[in-house]
Structure 1
């Protein structure tokens, strides 16, 4: 059986079809293992930096769509057939539903101390499926089988694991505050409020401030 790049499969030949008289085609997923773990932290919406001398109240949060990742390349022209194959494979092997992407959305009103930055951070549960896929083309005189293999990762819950959304809060040094202010002034899309607070993408600051930040689950902040 020959190995194939999935992008070389005709998009019309992903669906399993039997035409009769020995004709047919399709891609069959053969999942071997499924495991679950938390994905990389990602920001929901902007981070807010309180540059004032007093506490401020702000609503932080937003939404983030996290999609399927593969260890092999899947182009936009074949992804519809690939996701259909994944749905069938996962349902058949594990009795689980499969979606190609999930949109996470949340917001929360909080008090931000002077000199601090706050943001919402998501840690989604991600499922990893390991297996291989077989592409079959059959006619009355030949039966061609080609395959590709790898890992497929997408959001998905299981057992006691649940997506975690946390309020993150970190002090901002004077030096870093000057850097943020300069960067914000030069970058479209950042917001400067009348009281001096600055809103900018959480992705800018998660790596630099994350190790100094405290975390509180959103459910605890809401008193749930």
Structure 2
């Protein structure tokens, strides 16, 4: 079950479709098209009168919110010493829009414009193409442990149909494609979650970490006995062994 689900008011979108002689209830009877075949210049909706014009019209069915995949903020820090060390962990990560259909960079701008129009019109909210998350925290890392900050962003997903239309005195194009578009977004009391993740490193994992650190150009060896590695490298490896504490709780201590 999603954290939150909303249903659209498509009355304005449906009026726009009817202008181009498209029945909103029969979109799936139209010919399907690969969105990459649409001329980038024809994504923006243009109505010039007499039912003429062109564009891509997004008609959503639902907008739902749920947590996205866990993402590391900054590097993971491994304490290789026999004593606790104090380190500041964290960093930043930018999460952008994802689609369930293939989309080229040449039509991204057009797709984002369509999403802005569709979501604003149908839900009264603006669409955000990307969001940069940034956080840091000073913690004590026990000997033999690895710690990192992990983000669970709230993502909103719009499921819908996209109709490509082009009508002029010599052509009447009406095609469609379907898919989901997902990007970071919050509503109401929903909140992104940032957690401190901590895992005890086994001897087997310790050998792996040290070998990876020797080869990784992004690794950092500190004088206090810490090894920093990209969190994305270790999250899958240590996920089932790690404990979690909300950053808000740690700060409140």
Do structure 1's residue 33 and structure 2's residue 59 form an aligned pair?
no
Match of 1:173 in 2: 202
SS in 2 for 1:222: helix
Q: Deviations over 1:127-166 (max 9, x none)?
A: 1111101111010243211111011111111233210000
Q: Does 1:194 align with 2:223?
A: yes
Q: Answer whether contact 1:21 1:140 (CA < 8 A) is retained.
A: no
Structure number with higher relative contact order (C-alpha < 8 Å, ≥ 6 residues apart)? 1
- Cα distance in structure 2, aligned partners of 1:210 and 1:3: 41
SS in 2 for 1:78: helix
1:120-139 to structure 2, matched below 5 A, reads 120-139=149-168
117, 130, 151: which one aligns with 1:88:
117
Aligned residues: 224
Per the normalisation by structure 2, the TM-score is 0.85
Give the SS at the match of 2:106.
coil
| TM-superposition CA deviations, 1:156-207 (whole Å, max 9, x none) | 1123321000001110012211111011111111000012210001111111
2:71 alignment partner in structure 1: 42
- Two-structure CA RMSD over aligned residues (Å): 1.3
TM-score, length-normalised on structure 1?
Answer: 0.96
Superposed displacement of residue 41, structure 1: 0.6
Corresponding residue of 1:182: 211
Structure 2 partner of 1:205 = 234
Give the number of the structure whose residues are more often helix, by fraction. Answer: 2
Question: What residue in structure 2 maps to residue 51 of structure 1?
Answer: 80
1:209 aligned counterpart, secondary structure: helix
